[in-house]
A and B are shown apart, each in its own frame.
Chain A
Amino acid sequence: MDPVVPKRPCPSADPSSSFDASSSPSRVPSGPMAMDRVLEALLALPDPSVALELSLESLIDSRLLESDKDRLIEGAMEAGSALLEAARRSARRRASKHNFSSWPLASDLTIKVFSKLDTQSLCHAAATCSMFNKCATDPMCYANIDLTAEVPKVNNTVVSTMIQRAGKNLQSLKLGIRPSPASATELCRPLSYSTRNPMDTSGLSWSQKRPRQGRETSLLTRSCLLALSVDGGAAGTLLRSLHLYNIDKMDNSALCTALSACPYLLDLEVVGLHVELKRTLDAVSSNCHCIERLLFESSDTGRDDSLNSATCIDLVNGCPNIVSLALRGFKLHDHKVRILVKGSRHLKFVDFSTSYSITGTFLRNLSGGTNAHPLEVLILRDCLHLKEVEVSHLFSAMLVGDFKLLRYLDISNKDGLSAENDWNYRCYNPCTQLISLVLKQRPELCLLAKFPPEGSLIDIDLIADSEISSGTSSLMLYNLAFDSYLTNSSENSYSSDQGSGNEDVPDLNFPYDEDIFFDELEFL
Chain B
Amino acid sequence: MARTIKFRSSDGEVFDVEEAVAMESQTMKHVIEDDCADGGITLYNVTSDILVKVIEYCKKHVDAAVGSFIKALGGVDKDLESWDGEFVNVDLAIQVDISNASNSLNIEGLLDLTTRVIADNIRGRSHKRSVRSSTLKMSSRPRMRNGFGRRTPGRS
The interface bits of chain B over 30-45 (1 if a CB of A lies within 8 angstroms of the residue's CB, else 0) are 0000000000000000
Query: Which residue of the partner chain, among A112, A123, A129, A485, contacts B148 with CB atoms under 8 Å?
Result: A123
A463 at the interface (CB under 8 A from B): no
Q: Find the A residue at minimum CB distance from B124.
A: A121
B53 part of interface (Cβ distance < 8 Å): no
Binary CB contact string for chain A from 83 to 120 against chain B (1 if under 8 A, 0 otherwise): 00000100110111011001111101100111011100
Give a binary string over B140-153; 1 marks a CB under 8 Å from any A CB, 0 the rest.
11101011111111
Instruction: Please classify how large the interface on chain A is, using the bins under 10, 10 to 19, 20 to 34, 35 or more.
Output: 35 or more
Indicate the member of B97, B152, B153 with the most A CB atoms within 10 Å. B153
Say whether A130 faces chain B, with CB atoms less than 8 Å apart. yes
Q: Are B75 and A95 in contact (CB under 8 A)?
A: no
Q: Is the beta-carbon distance between B150 and A127 smaller than 8 angstroms? A: yes
**B108-138: which residues lie under 8 A (CB-CB) from chain A?**
111, 115-116, 118-119, 122-126, 131-132, 134-138
CA distance in complex: A132, B142 (Å): 15
Interface stretch, picked from A153-161, A208-216, A260-268, A273-281, is A153-161
Which of B131, B135, B148 lies in contact with A127, CB distance below 8 A? B148
Determine which residue in B100, B139, B149 has the highest number of CB atoms from chain A within 10 A of its CB, and name it: B149
Inter-chain contact A132/B148, CB cutoff 8 Å: no
| Cβ B155 vs Cβ A112 within 8 A | no
A125 to B142, CA, bound (A): 10
A483 nearest in chain B by CB position: B75
CA–CA, A123 and B136, complex, Å:
18
B148 touches A130 (CB 8 A): no
CB nearest neighbor in A for B97? A104
Are A129 and B115 in contact, CB atoms less than 8 angstroms apart?
Answer: no
B123 to A, closest residue via Cβ: A121
A106 and B149: CB pair below 8 A?
Answer: no
Looking at A94, A102, A132, A158, the one whose CB has the most chain B CB atoms below 10 A away is: A102
A99, A113, A126, A155: which contacts B119 (Cβ < 8 A)? A113
Q: Which of B140, B148, B156 contacts A98 (CB 8 A)?
A: B156
Decide yes or no whether B67 CB sits under 8 A from chain A. no
User: Do the beta carbons of A128 and B154 come within 8 Å of each other?
Assistant: yes
> Binary interface profile of A, 125-169, with partner B (CB < 8 Å = 1, else 0)?
111111011000000000000010000011101100100000000
Chain A residue with the shortest CB-CB distance to B121: A113
Q: How far is the CA of A157 from the CA of B144 in the complex (A)?
A: 13
In the complex, which residue of chain B has the Cβ closest to the Cβ of A159? B147
Are A129 and B75 in contact, CB atoms less than 8 angstroms apart? no
Q: Is the CB of B154 within 8 A of A99?
A: yes
Within the complex, which residue of A91, A112, A114, A130 is in contact with B156, where a contact is CB–CB below 8 Å? A91
Q: Does A55 contact B (CB under 8 A)?
A: no
Q: In the assembled complex, how far is the CB of residue A488 from the closest CB belonging to chain B, in whole angstroms?
A: 13
**Smallest Cβ-Cβ distance to B148: which chain A residue:** A123
Q: A102-B134, A113-B122 are in contact. Are A123 and B144 (CB under 8 A)?
A: yes
CB distance from A334 to the nearest CB of B (A): 35
What does DSSP make chain A's interface, helix, strand, loop or mixed?
Answer: helix
Give the Cβ gap from B100 to chain A, nearest Cβ, in Å.
Answer: 7
Asked if A158 contacts B100 (CB within 8 A), the reply is no
Do A153 and B154 touch across chains, with their CB atoms under 8 A apart? no
**Cβ–Cβ contact B100 & A106, under 8 A:** yes
| B140–A128 touching, CB < 8 Å | yes
* Candidates B96, B115, B147; contact of A112 at CB < 8 Å: B115
Give every chain A residue within 8 A of B123 (Cβ-Cβ): 117-118, 121
Asked if A124 contacts B131 (CB within 8 A), the reply is no
Judge if A370 is at the interface, Cβ distance under 8 Å.
Answer: no
Kindly state whether residue A484 has any CB partner on chain B within 8 Å: yes
Across-interface contacts of B132 in A (CB, < 8 A) = 102, 104
**Residues of chain B lying within 8 A (CB to CB) of residue A112:** 103, 111, 115
Within the complex, the shortest CB–CB distance from B94 to chain A, in Å, comes to 11
Residues of B within 8 A of A153 (CB): 144, 147
B109 to chain A, nearest CB (A): 13
What are 26 A-B pairs at a CB distance below 8 A? A88-B153, A91-B153, A91-B156, A95-B137, A99-B136, A102-B132, A103-B131, A104-B96, A104-B134, A105-B96, A105-B99, A116-B119, A117-B122, A121-B119, A124-B140, A125-B140, A126-B149, A128-B139, A128-B154, A129-B138, A129-B151, A129-B153, A129-B154, A158-B146, A158-B147, A158-B148
- A residues with a Cβ closer than 8 A to B are 88, 91-92, 94-96, 98-99, 102-106, 108-109, 112-114, 116-118, 121, 123-130, 132-133, 147, 153-155, 157-158, 161, 484-485
Please provide the 4 A-B residue pairs with the shortest distance between their CB atoms, ordered closest to farther: A127-B149, A95-B154, A158-B147, A116-B119
What is the interface of chain B, defined by CB distance below 8 A to chain A? 73-76, 93, 96-97, 99-100, 103, 111, 115-116, 118-119, 122-126, 131-132, 134-142, 144, 146-156
Beyond A88-B153, A117-B122: 13 further Cβ-contacts under 8 Å?
Answer: A91-B155, A95-B153, A95-B156, A102-B136, A103-B136, A117-B119, A123-B148, A126-B151, A127-B149, A133-B151, A153-B144, A161-B148, A485-B75
